[in-house]
Amino acid sequence: MKPILTLESVSVSLPEGADRPHAMEEVSLSVAAGEILCVVGESGSGKSMTANAIMRLLPQGVTIAAGRILFEGRDLAGISEAEMRKVRGAGIAMIFQEPMTALNPLRSIGDQIGEMFETHTRLSRAEIGARVLALLAEVNIPEPEKAAKAYPHELSGGQRQRAMIAMALALDPRLLIADEPTTALDVTTQAQILTLIRDLQRRKGTAVLFITHDFGVVAEIADRVAVMSQGRVVETGSADAVLNAPQHAYTRQLIAAVPPLKAPPPRPLASEPILTMAHVSKTYRTGGFLGRGQRVTHAVKDVSLVLPRGATLGIVGESGSGKSTLARCLVRLIDPDGGEIRLNGRDLAGLTRAEMRAETRNIQMVFQDPFASLNPRRKAGELVAQGLIVHGMARSQALARAAELFALVGLDPAATDRYPHEFSGGQRQRIGLARALALEPDVLVADEPVSALDVSVQAQVLALLAELRQRLGISIVFITHDLRVAAQVCDLVAVMKNGEVVETGPIGQVFGQPQHPYTKALLASIPGQGFGLSRDLAAAAGQA
Amino acid sequence: MRVLALAGRRLAASIPTLFLILIGVFLLLQLAPGDTVDAMMAQMGGGDAATAKQLREFYGLDLSVGAQLANYLWRLVRFDLGFSAIYGKPVATVILERLPATILLMTASLSFAFFFGIVFGVLAARRVNRWQDTLISTLGLIFYAMPTFWFGLMAIVVFAIRLQWLPAGGFEDITVSRSGLSRTLDIARHLLLPTLTLGLFYLAIYLRIMRGSMLEVLNLDFVRTARAKGLDETRVVVKHVLRNALLPMVTLIGLQAGTMLGGSVVVESVFSLPGLGRLAYESVVQRDLNTLLGIVFMSALLVIIVNFIVDLLYARLDPRITTGS
């Protein structure tokens, strides 16, 4: 098949002073009509830069240094800006990762989709309106008339991404570039959006350049795969070949880092509980004037769970399920409205502020975003030592202990003098762990600790967490939306939906024979099940 | 309408504030030495203690501070601002005579500053870190740093005295009686320098805010979406960036309506305009408590009205507000 887009040894140079001279080096790719090419890589691999280079939407100072970008036989790298604008939207359309920020918050959805026609066609206002409704219906948005008049904040995340897709497909582009279009979405929504993209692409014969970091998504949607690392394409081939028989060492390493969906054999659990939650509830009331028109949200509703000593309890659910609120209630960052949280037999929910501050010795939290959760103005060592100092240790002693903790989490003890921005994402999450472990807590509450990390770094942090659990005997409450990760680290799991726990039990049992329809739906939505399965079987065979 | 309910609630909440301000000013002025009668006696060239006592009784100044305050508030509730001993007229009349000049000056300066702030802010942001940006930002800094009164005086020296293009002061030419368009033009000629003097300072603030806000919005994701749709830069700015970047500017107008009234005291004095600002200054000097409180009441009312309009405008600009999410 004749390719629609071909990249011939494209190099993109970064401005002077960047950490490397080229964002892309001699990248060669091609996509044909009716084909989905997945570009996979970790952050900094140059995969998003590839998309921006094709659209010629590079940041200032970043330029295409060499190579040709052939779109329908024309070299996009050489044409004028005015010519390029005619290609954007009409010839090549793009959808982005975060549909909330990718849409203008002050203009209605219909208006923003209609702008495609206004820019590239001479259709009348009425015709544009009709086309917009047809497009919204095509991407299966319920009530297209209402959605066209709605503003982005009035739609759900999935609907927003559908609207983005409708906008991108407005002029039947020959090529669609999708830059991590499902990364910000929940797993069930992600499955729907992937199906939608696949269906539309099949029907219209559009070529799709799909950028992702998630091998599950690749297995789900790709016809062909290009793996990128450090601005270079290290491997290309059919999806089947790359996923099941990777040639390049980097690809192998990446695929090995994807956690298998099948839980490892269960570990023996202590019968003695360390943390018990009984009927924990948290309700938010918003708006309303003197009690009128008030909206009540049950963030956490009557949750009762038990964490045995030394075990890991996973709490899984989609956004808005209340899992993070529950985590915050456990360490009393949020005060629960009702229920008991017993740590070593002591009810945390009933403690005064001062008593709770003392009790934080025994229960500590690790946060999701390793970039936002460390104070950028303080040295890493001080951040780790802070808890110890607050709890009465002398400063010099606390700093010495911080260096020990750095060694414990696999960081250079000499690095305590550095500031958070000098560390990589994975290293920062290690600092976060060291900070939480400084007080030698019995229980660690980890709220999405690996969600912001690349898959290979994620594997390292998970391995560290498992090792620490073994060595220090801590018990962990592990909050995650990623069921693959949950399968690997948790002994027990609780599935949450709309603030309630719908199913709980040992992980092998819940994931193996799910009882609740929601759990079944969640598990069925995980992309690339087949890919995980064949590899899991191979691994099992290897072990046997 | 949700917006009206929201703005209405804000309006209701500002009434107690208004009373607190009035009580505060009332008590503050009691701390200043001397009262209206002292000022009047000084103007008359002195007088005996008996006359002073009589006058104090006449104006109700012999009562205790509490009683005077209660009297004042009671009159205010009935929309009676009282009687100015110095001007010999009801305070409401005195203020209404002075109000048009101030409102005209404020509206003109604010519109001037807002409009050119947007224009220059957008220009600077579009040409960020190039010579156009440097020039605009430097000029902005100069306007911001220059004292208003000095700028006013220099403007008089250059345009009124040296070049004799514009009048040096006053609200209109009182030697000739005019009407209709010619009167409007005459007032405009008189207000040109004061407007520039007062407006340039605010122009500097608006242009900085607009520049920063534009640069921030230009980096947002939806701008990239707009470019990916094939829009040219002008349309990207007009259709997507501008309205988003205007939001902080609108907030700023509400905040600055009050400070602008303060700034007009200086400008009205320099250009001898018969406005509220100068009236306020004169009533402090003459201890004309009633007039001063009337002005405070009036200007607080102005600020509240401006903020009410800003609230409505904001809801119109940003659909996220009306739904309350």
The full DSSP string for A398-416 is: HHHHHHHHHHHTT--GGGG
Cβ contact, residue pair A119, B220, below 8 Å? no
Sign of the dihedral defined by the CA atoms of residues A342, A362, A267, A368, in that order = positive
Look at residue A530 in the predicted model and tell me its pLDDT.
67
Cβ contact, residue pair A101, B228, below 8 Å? no
Tokens found for residue A154: 């009035």
d(CA B198, CA B151): 9
User: Which residue in B221, B225, B318 is closest to A106 by CB distance?
Assistant: B318
Mode of pairing for the β-strands spanning A346-347 and A338-343: antiparallel
Question: Distances from the Cα of B300 to the Cαs of B252, B274, B297, in angstroms?
Answer: 17, 19, 5
d(CA A511, CA A507): 6
**B243 touches A: beta carbon within 8 Å:** yes
pLDDT by 10-residue block (mean), chain A, 544 residues: 87 81 88 92 86 89 88 89 91 88 91 92 92 91 89 87 91 92 85 90 91 89 92 91 89 86 82 90 71 71 91 89 89 88 88 87 86 86 90 90 89 88 86 89 90 83 88 90 89 92 91 91 84 57 48
Look at residue A468 in the predicted model and tell me its pLDDT.
87
Cβ contact, residue pair B227, A104, below 8 Å? no
Cβ contact, residue pair A88, B325, below 8 Å? no
Look at residue A538 in the predicted model and tell me its pLDDT.
55
**CA–CA min distance B109, chain A (Å):** 29
Name the packing angle between helices A125-138 and A109-120 (round to 10°): 120
Q: What is the DSSP letter of A515?
A: -
Q: By CB neighbour count within 10 A (0-12 exposed, 13-18 middle, 19+ buried), where does B282 fall?
A: middle
**B322 touches A: beta carbon within 8 Å:** no
**B229 touches A: beta carbon within 8 Å:** yes
pLDDT by 10-residue block (mean), chain B, 325 residues: 72 82 82 74 74 76 79 81 80 87 88 92 89 90 86 84 80 75 83 88 91 91 91 90 90 81 82 84 81 84 83 82 53
Query: Which residues from chain B sit within 8 angstroms of residue A287, using beta carbons?
Result: 324
What residue spans define the domains of chain A?
A: 1-91+173-256, 99-170, 275-282+298-543
Cβ contact, residue pair A102, B225, below 8 Å? yes
The matching CATH number, chosen from 3.40.50.970, 3.40.50.300, 3.40.50.620, 3.40.140.10, for A275-282+298-543 is 3.40.50.300
Q: Which residue of B has its CA nearest to A111?
A: B239
Cβ contact, residue pair B229, A119, below 8 Å? yes
Query: Which residues from chain B sit within 8 angstroms of residue A176, using beta carbons?
Result: none
d(CA B104, CA B183): 14
Look at residue B209 in the predicted model and tell me its pLDDT.
92
Residues, chain A: 544
**B74 touches A: beta carbon within 8 Å:** no
Look at residue A532 in the predicted model and tell me its pLDDT.
58
Query: Which residues from chain B sit within 8 angstroms of residue A153, using beta carbons?
Result: 319-320, 323, 325
Look at residue A226 in the predicted model and tell me its pLDDT.
94
Cβ contact, residue pair B244, A106, below 8 Å? yes
| Domains A1-91+173-256 and A275-282+298-543 agree in fold | yes
Q: Which residue of A has its CA nearest to B319?
A: A106
Query: What class, spelled out in words, does domain A1-91+173-256 have in CATH?
Result: alpha beta
Look at residue A544 in the predicted model and tell me its pLDDT.
43
Output b/e per residue, A368-392; b: 16+ Cβ within 10 A: bbbeebbeeeebbbbbbbbbbbeee
Give the count of beta carbons closer than 10 Å to the beta carbon of residue A14: 20
Q: Which residue of A has its CA nearest to B314?
A: A106
Q: Give bridge partners of residue A36 from the DSSP assignment.
A: A208
Cβ-proximal residues to B106 (8 Å cutoff; 6+ apart), any chain: B198, B257, B260, B261, B264
Cβ contact, residue pair B243, A106, below 8 Å? yes
Q: In one letter, which amino acid is A199?
A: D
Q: Which residue of A has its CA nearest to B5?
A: A289
Output b/e per residue, A136-154; b: 16+ Cβ within 10 A: bebbebeebeebbebbbeb
The pair phi, psi for residue A244, each rounded to 5°, is -100, -25
Cβ contact, residue pair B320, A153, below 8 Å? yes
Q: What is the DSSP letter of A180?
A: S
Query: Which residues from chain B sit within 8 angstroms of residue A116, using beta carbons?
Result: 229
d(CA A328, CA B20): 41
User: Which residue in A90, A104, A153 is closest to B230 by CB distance?
Assistant: A90
Q: Which residue of B has its CA nearest to A119?
A: B231
Tokens found for residue B215: 């640069």
Cβ contact, residue pair B239, A96, below 8 Å? no
Tokens found for residue B120: 């220059």
Is A282 in contact with A337 (CB distance < 8 Å)?
A: yes
d(CA A463, CA B258): 60
User: Which residue in A85, A102, A164 is closest to B230 by CB distance?
Assistant: A85
Cβ contact, residue pair A98, B221, below 8 Å? yes
Query: Which residues from chain A sit within 8 angstroms of residue B9, using beta carbons?
Result: 289
Look at residue B212 in the predicted model and tell me its pLDDT.
92
Q: In one letter, which amino acid is B267?
A: V
**CA–CA min distance A425, chain B (Å):** 23
Provide the number of CB pairs (under 8 Å) joining chain A to chain B: 75
Look at residue A53 in the predicted model and tell me its pLDDT.
92
Cβ contact, residue pair A86, B324, below 8 Å? no
Cβ contact, residue pair B220, A106, below 8 Å? no
The residues on A that touch B, with CB distances below 8 Å, are: 55, 57, 82, 85-90, 93-94, 96, 98, 101-108, 115-116, 119-120, 151, 153-154, 164, 167, 287, 289
Cβ contact, residue pair A105, B320, below 8 Å? yes
Which B positions 148-207 lie with beta carbon below 8 A of chain A? none
Mode of pairing for the β-strands spanning A500-506 and A492-497: antiparallel
**CA–CA min distance B320, chain A (Å):** 7
Tokens found for residue A425: 């994402």
Strand locations in A350-460 (E): 363-366, 443-447
Look at residue B325 in the predicted model and tell me its pLDDT.
39
Cβ contact, residue pair A154, B220, below 8 Å? no
Look at residue A14 in the predicted model and tell me its pLDDT.
84
Which of B130, B265, B116 lies closest to B205, judged by CA? B116
Output b/e per residue, A111-129; b: 16+ Cβ within 10 A: bbbbbbbbbbeeeeeeebb
Cβ contact, residue pair B319, A106, below 8 Å? yes
Give the count of beta carbons closer than 10 Å to the beta carbon of residue A234: 18
For testing contact with chain A, the best of B4, B215, B229 (most A CBs within 10 A): B229
Give the count of beta carbons closer than 10 Å to the beta carbon of residue A70: 17
Q: Which residue of B has its CA nearest to A120?
A: B230
Q: Which residue of B has its CA nearest to A173?
A: B229
**B244 touches A: beta carbon within 8 Å:** yes
Output b/e per residue, B226-256; b: 16+ Cβ within 10 A: bbbbbbeeebbbebbbbbbbbbebbebbbeb
Please, what is the Cα angle at A67 between A62 and A72, to 5 degrees?
Answer: 105
Which B positions 22-61 lie with beta carbon below 8 A of chain A? none
Cβ contact, residue pair B319, A153, below 8 Å? yes
